[in-house]
Amino acid sequence: MCGIVGFVGRKRAKECVLSGLYALEYRGYDSAGITLKIGDGYETVKCAGRVSALDERLRGVGSDASVAIGHTRWATHGEPSERNAHPHESKSVILVHNGIIDNFLSLRASLAEDGYSFKSETDTEAIVHLIDREYAKTKDARLAIQSAASMLVGSFALAILFCDRPSEIWAVRRNNPLICAVGAEGSYLASDIPALLPYSREVLRPHDDEILCLTEEKITLYQKDGTEGALSFETVAWDYEMAKKDGFEHFLIKEINEEPEAVSRTARGITEGGLPDFSGIGMSGELLASFDSVSVIACGSAYHAGIVGRMLIERLAGIPVFVTLASEYRYDPPITAGNTLVVPISQSGETADTLAALKLAKERGAHSLGIINTVGSAIARESEFVLYTNAGPEISVATTKGYTTQVASMYLLAIALAHAKGRLTGGEAREMCELIRTEVPRAIRSIIDRRAEIRALAEEIKSAKDLYYIGRGSDYAACLESALKLKEVSYIHTEAYAAGELKHGTLSLITEGVPVIALACDKKYHDKMIGNIREVRARGGFVILLAGEDLEAPSEYAERVFILPTLEGIFMPFASVVFSQLLAYEVAYILGCDIDCPRNLAKSVTVE
């Protein structure tokens, strides 16, 4: 949440920072701002709204600036307005911030006593005055940052300009992402990889409380004790092309189109000779066999992937699985007994609640396996073992391939646990892995190829005020993700219900014409689902039925039917959720919604 970018060097800093802000817009789009070093002074331009509005305001300004810092904001403290937009400035310091400062009120009070006045409602303004106050004491930038950071409670990634140090950008982070790189034209820093990909794939990730000084020629890293530390760069596997729209109108539809290959890549990444092989990530068969329960922690769609995973692991490996929202876990973790494997799931690898929950689980002595997309991210680094989903960069705020590759990873974990525990033979495990590698991607592709049919359904539901997804078992797990997708991108109120729960309250909401999307993909529940659908239709509900080819005479049961390619029952959530992702896209498209950047949301939720 919030994207920060900085550049110091020979190139046009404005261009470089603006392109970085565009690349990071998925992290927040409430306001945007930039400070440019122009001549002997600094010019700050900011505005409410998107980076494009900032770009507009910057026409003809600072094209030859060689130093700049910029920010794209997801508002936490203070409304999204120009006044609250970053950069914020003090007498001799200007900075941009990603994060939240918990003790900002007491800091503001103390700074006000020292004569500082505040122009915004943000927590960030307390930081800039604090660093200014510390800097005035010694004129030592590193010491000022270190001393200010020691007084901050919360999370932050900061890019800082000292007005009397015109060729330097300083930076520090704690519990928020920050990476930097040196390219041919100068030094760069950013919250996330897509902003740096046009310039370098060699990135440095400072640890918490390490301080960086960037100049045109080099980066200097100061460790917590103030001594200079060695720079260790890692090569990013993604390239610039992967982070572009590639001819698609939106990242969301581009990323849906990437799902077949992404899911196959997830499976290829962890299989050896056709079997899931976790030894490559340090988990032996003996270790896998030793777990007697699994505890999944995640948020949003990743939590939904965990719920699919629970069903798989319990069914295949025969051990209990607890799936807990990370925001709940961190304050009220479930009691687990025996040898529990804790599994944080996160596309970004930066979600604050998931990271905090993982830290707590580790303090309680659990082994941890992170299911993560972003290599080197905070949760990946905190996890004892990491299974990378290999989805590639995901830019759309609403996740698609991020989710399906998380689900694929959970299948692979379930298969590996079951095989290690002797509940699946090598042959059975190999067959399931092969299905994920080949048949599931084929099924997903065949749904993507039927976009026109899905668009026609979208036309029929576009005016709905409320919509319900219903299903049982793994179909219910798929309903949870399907409902989230539709509501977050189209703003149509959508809920998911376990179909058996309808008559315990929800049926009162079903009136003439209310659309209900019923998933009857798992054969095990066909009869029960048909009963529930009848109940809905008897109250006037407009039913769209999703089923595999094995449901007989489906058109008898619903106003509309969409037959999904039949996969073995437990694999059907791949098919039904991809249908729902496309439906959400088409509805949002017809309604003219901002598909890649839905209102009020942002990707990579680095604040609690």
Q: Which of residues 426-485 bind ligand F6R (CB under 6 A)?
A: 484
Choices 45-53, 314-322, 340-348, 426-434; region in contact with ligand F6R by CB under 6 A: 340-348
State which H helix or E strand residue 272 sits in: strand 271-272
Helix 124-138, helix 104-113: angle, nearest 10: 50
Q: Residue 483 has what DSSP assignment?
A: H
Considering only 190-198, 315-323, 341-349, 445-453, which stretch makes contact with ligand F6R by CB under 6 A?
A: 341-349
At residue 245, the 3 state secondary structure works out as coil
Signed CA dihedral, 311, 313, 319, 322: sign only = negative
Q: Are 345 and 306 in contact (CB under 8 A)?
A: yes
CB atoms within 10 A of CB 512: 8
Name the residues annotated as catalytic. 2, 603
Closest to ligand F6R by CB, 146 or 348? 348
Which residue's Cβ has the minimum distance to ligand F6R? 300
Q: Which two tokens stand for residue 601?
A: 């949301």
Q: What is the nearest approach in angstroms of ligand F6R to the Cβ of residue 204?
A: 22
Q: Please identify, among the stretches 61-69, 117-125, 129-137, 299-307, the one whose residues bind ligand F6R according to the rule CB under 6 A.
A: 299-307
Which of residues 433 and 601 has its CB atom nearest to ligand F6R in the complex? Answer: 601
CB of 329 to ligand F6R, least distance (A): 13
Nearer to ligand F6R, 200 or 351 (CB): 351
| Cα–Cα dist 402/165, whole Å | 42
Tell me: cis bond preceding 87? Omega within 30 of 0 counts: yes
Stretch (H or E) spanning 104: helix 104-113
Q: Which of 200, 295, 301, 490 binds ligand F6R (CB under 6 A)?
A: 301
Alpha-carbon distance values, 88 to 32, 33, 44, 66, 125 (Å): 12, 9, 9, 20, 6
Tell me how many helices (H) and strands (E) the chain has: 19, 27
Nearer to ligand F6R, 378 or 547 (CB): 378
Query: Can residue 605 be called a binding residue for ligand F6R (CB under 6 A)?
Result: yes
Nearest CB to ligand F6R, comparing residues 271 and 580: 580
DSSP strands (E only) in 308-366 = 321-325, 340-346
Residues binding ligand F6R: number (CB under 6 A): 15
182 binds ligand F6R (CB under 6 A): no
**Among all chains, which residue has been given the structure tokens 């900085």?**
6
Instruction: Closer to ligand F6R by CB, 305 or 420: give it.
Output: 305
Contacts to ligand F6R from residues 385-424, by CB under 6 A: 398-399
CB of 346 to ligand F6R, least distance (A): 3
For ligand F6R, the closer CB: 146 or 409: 409
Give the residue, chosen from 78, 87, 177, 300, that forms a contact with ligand F6R under the rule CB under 6 A. Answer: 300
Min dist CB 514 to ligand F6R, Å, is: 24
Q: Which of 302, 313, 357, 440 binds ligand F6R (CB under 6 A)?
A: 302
Nearest distance, CB of residue 44 and ligand F6R, angstroms = 31
Q: Other CB atoms closer than 10 Å to residue 504's CB: what's the count? A: 9
| Cβ 388 to ligand F6R shortest distance, Å | 13
**Nearer to ligand F6R among residue 293 and residue 396 (C-beta):** 396
The piece of 140-148, 232-240, 296-304, 542-550 that touches ligand F6R (CB under 6 A) is 296-304
Taking the complex as a whole, the smallest distance from the CB of residue 426 to ligand F6R amounts, in Å, to: 32
Q: Parallel, antiparallel, or unpaired for β 542-547 and 515-520?
A: parallel
Minimum CB separation of residue 482 from ligand F6R in Å reads 11
- Residue 351 or 580: the one with the smaller Cβ distance to ligand F6R is 351
Whole-angstrom Cα distance, residue 392 to residue 397? 14
Strands (E) in 107-215, as ranges, are 154-162, 169-174, 179-182, 186-190, 202-204, 211-214
Please, what is the minimum distance in Å from the beta carbon of residue 155 to ligand F6R? 15
Please name the residues in contact with 531: beta carbons below 8 A apart, sequence gap of 6 or more. none
Q: Which residue has the tokens 């927040």?
A: 28
Alpha-carbon distance 98 to 179, whole Å?
13
* Binders in 343-362 for ligand F6R, by CB under 6 A: 346-348, 351, 354
Count of other CB atoms within 10 angstroms of residue 228: 10
Query: Residue 528 CB: number of other CB atoms within 10 A?
Result: 14
Contact letters (x/-) for ligand F6R, 478-507, by CB under 6 A? ------x---x-------------------
**Nearer of residues 165 and 603 to ligand F6R, judged by Cβ:** 603
Backbone angles phi, psi at 315, to 5 degrees: -70, -45
What part of residues 117-176 is at the interface with ligand F6R (CB under 6 A)?
Answer: none
DSSP 215-232: -SS-EEEE-TTSSEE---
Nearest to residue 98, comparing CAs of 137, 127, 121? 127
Q: Is 340 in the site for ligand F6R (CB under 6 A)?
A: no
Kindly tell me which residue out of 299, 316, 447, 577 binds ligand F6R, with binding defined by CB under 6 A: 299
Q: How far is the CB of 26 from ligand F6R (least distance, A)?
A: 10
Would you state the structure tokens that stand for residue 52, as one six-digit string?
Answer: 């494009």
Q: Which residues bind ligand F6R (CB under 6 A)?
A: 299-302, 346-348, 351, 354, 398-399, 484, 488, 604-605
